[in-house]
Structure 1
Amino acid sequence: MASGIPCETTPEAPRSVDPPEDLRPCERRALHEFRARLEDAIVSNQQLVKASGREKSKSRVACSADPTEDPREESLWGIPLLPSQGHEGTDVILLKFLRAREFKVSDAFAMLQKTLRWRREFGADSILEEEMGLPELEDAADVNGTDREGHPVCYSICGAFKDKDLYRRTFGSKERREKFVRWRVRFVEKGIQELSFKPGGAGSLLQVIDLKDSCSPDMKELRSATKKLVSVLQDNYPEFVVKNIFINVSLRYYVYYALFSNLISPRSKSKFILVRPSKVLETLLKFIAPEEIPVQYGGLKREDDDEFSPEKQVSELVIKGGGMATIEIPVVEPGVTVVWDITVVGWEVTYKEEFIPDDEGSYRVLIQKEKKIEESVRNSFYINEPGKVVLTIENRTYKKKRVLHRSKSKPTIPLYNLLNQTKHPIA
């Protein structure tokens, strides 16, 4: 089929869902042409997946050339590629390749062919069922929650490799480095399982890469494996990352990035965000709600949290430089435990907690004496009389501070009452 002919003008136009409304006319034409070219290649049983030069020298059989396979069943990430099947996810996949190649249809088609060939050579379609035997790397990567737009958030913790024994077992040889790349691709495939390939759905990942304790000059093997990984992901996972947020970036890494960035395409580079340690929470809050940010990064999310659900509303207050603010949690009925979370963007404030009873004849209780707050705080206090828990935050810097907090009350039977009921059960 001649290049440049939109699919509306072909005698047998592929049946498909309507293109997204946000596409410009030239982009719509490119999508129509891509559909038609792909349809023609699959229906006419052309060799969609071209063999590499090495494979051609070994055999005349194409790398995808299983004569029992029906080319009409070609798919990517579970989405059929044949446009005339009318699957709602087909255009979503095709647009990823088009956007990665600036809507140049020939380049996008060539990229799709290379990706299909690579997946078959690499075994990417079956990698999730593969047992890699690397349980020690579980602390180095995690898919944890979603961002404000519903994109799954993938965390990579490079500092896990400061353990010299783990570093040697992971990067000590070429074979181990290749296995690491394979493990990391598996992690990406796991994240893709959380995506939506429906038009308008969250079809990409947000990546947070924590570089704390990872820029030692001795970690050249890690950098080498990372370069290869970036190349693999850039070539075969187009538009699958909405942003790459590098946090806890040191000066050494800024220098390294300046040298390394020439290997990254301009489009991919535009998605990179480098964040200094003091700006981690502030930056993550632009993309992720505080209740979805793990506590180690200043957020309010704790593993296996049985106190607060993600739906629990988080409140915010702003304290001007040199100012002070209080958060009051009133308790009308006694016999409850008050639980609260609090975190501060930028830290550098002092903080204390106390219980003030309504009865003027009762004593105030200092729950937490004044201290500097340098991490997310969770605390609780049992209330046996009406009153209020008061959290006092003082900002002695000249910059304004954002305070994020939430609280709840839950009925509680004190332990001594339970023990007393056990000894003297009620008749």
Structure 2
Amino acid sequence: MGEELRPTEKKALAELKALIAAAPPAAAAIWGVPLAGGDERTDVVLLKFLRARDLDPAQAHAMLSRCVAWRRDFGADGVPEEDLGLGELDGVVAYMHGRDRQGRPVCYNAYGAFKDADLFDRAFGDEPRLERFLRWRVQLMERGLRLLHFKPGGVHSIVQVTDLRDMPNRELRAVSARVLSLFQDNYPELVARKVFINVPWYFSLIYAVFSPFLTERTKSKFVLAREGAVEETLYRFISPEFVPAQYGGLSRPGESLDPPPKPASEFSVRGGEKVNLEIDGIEAGTTMTWELVVAGWDVEYAAEYVPAAAAGYSLAIAKPRRIAAGAPPLRHTFAASEPGRMVLSIDNSSRRRKVAAYRYSVRKPPLNL
């Protein structure tokens, strides 16, 4: 499995397999993985149920049986293809986007959209609408599972990022408790990390409500980031090129660059420091596109092209200007008429260290054959 199992885990796994052989669940497979036989993915799945029940084979078997029954009654295998009429929530309230540094898919949640009373009513106005929303949320989870392969040593869990900004906490408490309970019971150990961003001061009160619904193992996966620490926190787990632009990354969902840019380079700018980034070896006729983002911005930015020839004159691509807080990533394109290098300058006059990232792509001139 890419990890050495402890003797207690091996023993519990063998006992769970014996229980499954003696009392098979109502379905032969779960999440597309057989529950018995020689499939290498089976152990990966069974260990998730065991770890969710502290390696108790009997409890894991009962949990697995209930989960299989729920999937049958809910129609979970077919829900990814359903049209639930909640397209307005896609890409806004919850969506899959990019991967973390270990290759795990990332699911973003932003329930602040429900501060809109009309949207809230359309989603949760009565029990049928609430059930439809829960089905929509399961749909997103099931689509995320299709990005996993469950092979030993491979990717078999996702990362959840939840934005708590503007979240109408009182109204969503009951809904959130339903979602948490549903996921804990039927998707054990499928979330590797839960990152909460823009955490308000009163989150401890909300957490006190949720806490009874959470296992200790689940609580250990929580990461909290208050406003102002979002980018630095996300960068710990997700490369900047996969972090959405609204959270301080370089990724614009649904957009791709041609040619594809190089992997993002990360750096930091200390308070009172000026950093010059140099991109060397640019050939004549080359077209270069670069993107830059600084957490929180409020820095001065400039860009110039410096010809390789000693007699050449530097060309100001972007004159020094202040970039306001909350600005989206910058993107510039420049066609070089002569060899040289690009110099990007970031001047941080504040006292606070800022994390930052940039990336670039180069379209070289065609060969003359």
TM-score of the superposed pair, with normalisation by structure 2:
0.89
Q: 1:116 aligns with which of 57, 64, 68?
A: 68
Mapped contact 2:306–2:312 kept (Cα < 8 A): no
Following superposition, the deviation at residue 386 of structure 1 comes to 4.2
Distance 2:299 2:3 in 1: 48
Name the structure 2 match of 1:38: 20
Name the structure 1 match of 2:83: 131
Question: In the alignment, is residue 233 of structure 1 matched against residue 183 of structure 2?
Answer: yes
Q: 1:87 aligns with which of 30, 39, 56?
A: 39
Taking a change above 3 Å as real, the CA distance of residues 119 and 333 of structure 1, as seen in their structure-2 partners, is closer
Give unmatched runs, 5+ long, in structure 2: none
Name the structure 1 match of 2:58: 106
Question: In the alignment, is residue 269 of structure 1 matched against residue 223 of structure 2?
Answer: no
Taking a change above 3 Å as real, the CA distance of residues 299 and 307 of structure 1, as seen in their structure-2 partners, is farther
Q: 1:248 aligns with which of 176, 190, 198?
A: 198
Structure number with higher relative contact order (C-alpha < 8 Å, ≥ 6 residues apart) = 2
Residues 391-426 of structure 1, C-alpha deviations (whole Å, 9 max, x = no match): 11112233443332222332579xxxxxxxxxxxxx
Residues 295-324 of structure 1, C-alpha deviations (whole Å, 9 max, x = no match): 2111122232124637x2322334333221
Following superposition, the deviation at residue 332 of structure 1 comes to 5.0
Distance 1:356 1:191 in 2: 46
Residues 223-278 of structure 1, C-alpha deviations (whole Å, 9 max, x = no match): 32111111010111110100111111222333212332222122111112221121
Give unmatched runs, 5+ long, in structure 1: 1-18, 43-47, 50-72, 414-427
Residues 3-25 of structure 1, C-alpha deviations (whole Å, 9 max, x = no match): xxxxxxxxxxxxxxxx7752111
Q: 1:291 aligns with which of 241, 254, 269?
A: 241
Name the structure 1 match of 2:114: 161
Question: In the alignment, is residue 365 of structure 1 matched against residue 331 of structure 2?
Answer: no
Residues 62-90 of structure 1, C-alpha deviations (whole Å, 9 max, x = no match): xxxxxxxxxxx6211111112xx211111
Say which one has the larger Rg. Answer: 1
Paired residues for 1:285-364 under 5 Å: 285-302=235-252, 303-307=254-258, 309=260, 312-330=262-280, 332-345=282-295, 347-357=297-307, 358=309, 360=311, 362=313, 364=315
Taking a change above 3 Å as real, the CA distance of residues 384 and 77 of structure 1, as seen in their structure-2 partners, is same
**Cα RMSD, aligned residues only:** 2.4
Distance 2:247 2:185 in 1: 31
Residues 90-124 of structure 1, C-alpha deviations (whole Å, 9 max, x = no match): 11111010000000111111111111121122221
- Where 1:251 maps in the other structure, the secondary structure is coil
Name the structure 1 match of 2:351: 398
Question: In the alignment, is residue 380 of structure 1 matched against residue 333 of structure 2?
Answer: yes
Letter in 1 for 2:294: V
Distance 1:122 1:106 in 2: 24
Question: In the alignment, is residue 74 of structure 1 matched against residue 74 of structure 2?
Answer: no
Mapped contact 1:279–1:346 kept (Cα < 8 A): no
Taking a change above 3 Å as real, the CA distance of residues 332 and 232 of structure 1, as seen in their structure-2 partners, is closer
Following superposition, the deviation at residue 340 of structure 1 comes to 1.0
Distance 2:132 2:321 in 1: 50
Residues 127-179 of structure 1, C-alpha deviations (whole Å, 9 max, x = no match): 12322122111122221121111111111222333333222211111211111
- Where 1:127 maps in the other structure, the secondary structure is helix
Taking a change above 3 Å as real, the CA distance of residues 400 and 88 of structure 1, as seen in their structure-2 partners, is same
Letter in 1 for 2:30: L
In percent, how many aligned pairs have the same letter? 43
Quick check: 185-194 or 142-151, which moved more? 142-151
Mapped contact 2:3–2:153 kept (Cα < 8 A): no
Name the structure 2 match of 1:60: none
Name the structure 2 match of 1:199: 152
Name the structure 1 match of 2:362: 409
Taking a change above 3 Å as real, the CA distance of residues 316 and 274 of structure 1, as seen in their structure-2 partners, is closer
Distance 1:106 1:137 in 2: 39
Distance 2:38 2:150 in 1: 13
TM-score of the superposed pair, with normalisation by structure 1:
0.78
Distance 1:201 1:167 in 2: 38
Mapped contact 2:259–2:363 kept (Cα < 8 A): no
Taking a change above 3 Å as real, the CA distance of residues 151 and 259 of structure 1, as seen in their structure-2 partners, is same
Mapped contact 2:304–2:314 kept (Cα < 8 A): no
Taking a change above 3 Å as real, the CA distance of residues 408 and 124 of structure 1, as seen in their structure-2 partners, is closer
